[in-house]
Structure 1
């Protein structure tokens, strides 16, 4: 590799110092000084923490100056500076994720040093300070992402399915990433030359100076520490799934003092996390993006000491010792739970069309993230589905796309889509709704280039498109509970009165009480969100379920006998 160039932006990009680098009052500095276990002096050029390290401390600057450095391939870019009287750290400092920049003293600097565990306790002890810290952390992360600083760099052809999976994993886990298309982005050639990697060996993921060649999602998850090490541990509450229902259960469980673990097979947020904007969620009159809602919810859960483990899948439920629930995980770990919440949600149904398998991740997607909106600029795209997710995707994509066709098998949108979204779709001059129509075939070489549409009368038409977003309904994710929990005919989990009415080997076993409203046929095992029979399939409904199951679990755990999967002896 060649030498690293140092670039100092002059002047630094505009930022709101009051939000990104707030000045601490004398009262707060005095309070922090009393809480501090260590005070350190850093020499000019000394690194406070590196780019891409986990568990970086939290620093309060008493004197001196610190600059933030983006360690790009072949280039150190100094992007911002902080002076005495403020603090150093972003979301990664609180969550333990890899840092998105290095912090370097550019003159002799004195600072208070707080390990991550100490920071979490301070936030809990002084909510006013915690509110300021969280607001600042989110603003710093947003500022870095907006300017493209500190992001992970994914260098790959646009048609790479492996690269798409890696990007999806990173984005959905709230880790900033930028895709450099080797066929169209000159900067990708510059980085590959410095890394001495031929174009043929892409995709390549670069984080700070760490390089992963052709990485699988599993390798990326391991490298970034997305999976928690929890083997053999006991929890008061284990939540399977981190959609709105699962995250709500984590927040309320943690706030009630329950030792809580959330196990998520891919990434937090669920289907709601991919929504560009949710406009009918209480308390957000201008709407809130799914990514923002997920970020705030995961931070909130971690603030209450919930453990979140991503890219981690439960593979089996069984009776554990002392009436506990044993949950076996896909990497060989297992945990024990006094109570269990099934918040596994539902997965998008697969489109049944000729050629679909060839184009997964190469033009066929199940979510429209913010990067997809930009990639759709001046292109023709197709959205298949008539629900809220399809409507949100169509509206978002239409801001940059030349045209968006919404393909609906039914005869109207209004039966399955919220009225406000129907109005948005119908008002957009770039959106065309095609009812009583299906996609029956996809065509292209490396990526999707066209599809065949079939109308209700059997007529067919080929239309060009650069991407197809499939949002055609969902099936419940209940494989882990097969044979243990009762479901309705569609596979959704039965709870409350529905669980009480089951017969046979999967039946409510207790004679002294009936199941709680969201309790399944197994005492102490609850269901919340889209996996539950009769769920509302709305974000607010999932959040309500998550809060309610914690109340039931807490009541159950207040008894002397722990909750378990099996009937009490």
Structure 2
């Protein structure tokens, strides 16, 4: 039997207080107390040799045989997936805070806490459980699953389904057909067997050919809406902008529906850790942020339909509602928010396009990170999404190389991410470089890189993650909704003057069609940041009220 995950405590001066602080975790974790960095390294090695793993390392701020940050660096080499926190004794908390907090900002560890001074220190335990929850969502297979996936191979479809389930926050595992779980699901399936098979917690088994079929099976289709009902606000796109609009709209009593083509959360939902989002000092994964926002919107009455691609928007005339058309039904709405976001641009290297899903991935593909253990991985892109993906992949891969066309990352990536990348020994950056070729037998095995002034080089590659900037999802919009030369939706004063009504421009987030608004990355001039998209989505609701009131 595989040992359970361990928590390693380094407590040279206050072992009793530290052990008491972690007493509530003993039942589910193998809690080990050590007195020095060397002892912690030996203990960690023993755990790994026995087939276990370390979920968390918690240390006092001062160690007898090493600086705590140097010790964490050594432990990171042995267990890169372990979360790291410093629990300073109250005698040293204020003294050690300035230097340690700056190191935390650089990503050298995850949390700086005050050691518990008694029982039920829930602020301390909230931080610890957040770190353990983050570890549990990204590293091990879940103990309790809500979805079973049966497949003999880890092909592109199976991986895409896993990625969707990860982004939706649905615990799942993949089993081989000849396992107990596999045979159980096969017994429940009546038709001809083809893989993958997917079984939800209600024991319903489906045989999907696309991820959209999984989404629609779990989250329904808009045909379930009463055809006579006209909703107040229909939101196209369930990213940060759409989720914020859903929360504020539904909380103010407006009937609200969200149609999302993929997983709720959009591109932001693929971010392994967003550290600069207001109110989350230890950071939050995109999946968890989206999950919390979705649950909040559901609480107020929003209805979500995932896996729903909107093919057409028919603009309402003479007071008639707008109509959103999907292949499974239509939604009629008094107002519409376009928050469908952007897609990563294609690399357009044909041999690599043929390997998408087999070592080549557009976006962060969170599930694929676990498949990268021991591999050399390449991330193409210079934005925050690329940096976050590289940091997360470095927990699993042998090496991660960021490939960027610019000479540095400084112009496109936040400084906190650049600092974290510079400190991570597994991550390197290749500036002024692009991927020009690649291939492999059945899956990615090699890439050819071209660096300005240095020519081409062929390298071994076990994974390629492409985060290449943004192209808007706007091909479904009618011509009445004006866009710029790159396809982004124009709003406010950017709308051509000849389309203004009474010499007044539309409101800041209003398009050229009354009652149709745009927010987030799809809007021309947006900041392409999670926080700004959230603000725009929330701001739209007052404009919706104004439009409905005027009608």
Q: 1:534 aligns with which of 517, 525, 541?
A: 525
Assess, with a 3 A threshold, how the Cα gap between structure 1 residues 513 and 257 changes in structure 2: closer, same or farther.
farther
Residue in 1 aligned with 2:325?
329
**What residue is the counterpart of 1:125 in the other structure?**
none
Residue 219 (structure 1) aligns with: 213
Alignment of 1:188-203 (within 5 A): 189-193=179-183, 195=186, 201-203=194-196
Q: What residue is the counterpart of 1:165 in the other structure? A: 160
- Structure 2 segments unaligned to the other structure (5+ residues): 1-21, 29-128
Find 2:283's aligned residue among 268, 283, 287. Answer: 287
**Structure 1 unpaired stretches of 5+:** 1-13, 21-134, 562-569
2:247 matched to 1:251?
yes
Residue 522 of structure 1, CA deviation: 1.0
Query: 1:73-127 deviations in whole A, cap 9, x for unaligned?
Result: xxxxxxxxxxxxxxxxxxxxxxxxxxxxxxxxxxxxxxxxxxxxxxxxxxxxxxx
- Which range is displaced more, 292-301 or 315-324? 315-324
Query: For residues 250 and 16 of structure 1, what CA distance do their matches in structure 2 show?
Result: 38
User: Could you tell me how far apart the structure 1 residues matched to 2:221 and 2:167 are?
Assistant: 14
Distance (Å, rounded) in 2 between the aligned partners of 1:158 and 1:407: 30
2:71 is aligned to none
Preserved contact between residue 216 and residue 307 of structure 2 (Cα < 8 Å): no
Which residue of structure 1 aligns with residue 536 of structure 2?
545
Between stretches 232-241 and 143-152, larger displacement belongs to 143-152
Matched, 1:174 2:169: yes
Map 1:315-394 onto structure 2 (within 5 A): 315-320=311-316, 323-394=319-390
Report how many aligned residue pairs link the two structures.
421
Question: Cα offset for 1:268?
Answer: 0.8
Q: What is the CA–CA distance in structure 2 between the aligned matches of 1:348 and 1:157, rounded to whole Å?
A: 30
TM-score after normalising by structure 1: 0.68
1:369 is displaced (CA, Å) by 4.6
1:266 aligns with 2:259: no
- The SS at the match of 1:558 is helix
> Per the alignment, do residues 467 and 320 of structure 1 end up closer, same or farther by CA in structure 2, a change over 3 Å counting?
same
Q: Distance in 1 between matches of 2:306 and 2:23?
A: 32
Partner of residue 207, structure 1: 200
Distance in 1 between residues matched to 2:23 and 2:196, nearest whole Å: 33
Cα distance per residue 1:157-189 (max 9 Å; x no partner): 555122123223323333222234x5xxxx854
Structure 2 residue 508 is matched with structure 1 residue 488:
no
Return the structure number with greater strand share.
1
The answer (yes or no) to whether the contact 1:240–1:342 under 8 Å persists in 2 is yes
Change (3 A) 1:235 1:370: same
Rate the CA distance shift 1:404–1:158 in 2: closer, same or farther, 3 A: farther
Provide the residue aligned with 1:11 in structure 2.
none
Aligned to 1:468: 464
- The 2-side partners of 1:218 and 1:400 are apart by 28
Contact 1:529 1:535 in 2 (8 A): yes
Other structure's SS at 1:481 match: coil
The 1:222/1:147 distance shift into structure 2, 3 A limit, reads: closer
1:298 has 2:294 as partner: yes
**CA distance in 1: counterparts of 2:488 and 2:428, whole angstroms:** 34
Is the contact made by 1:324 and 1:337 (CA closer than 8 Å) also made in structure 2? no
Instruction: Please provide the CA RMSD for this pair.
Output: 3.2
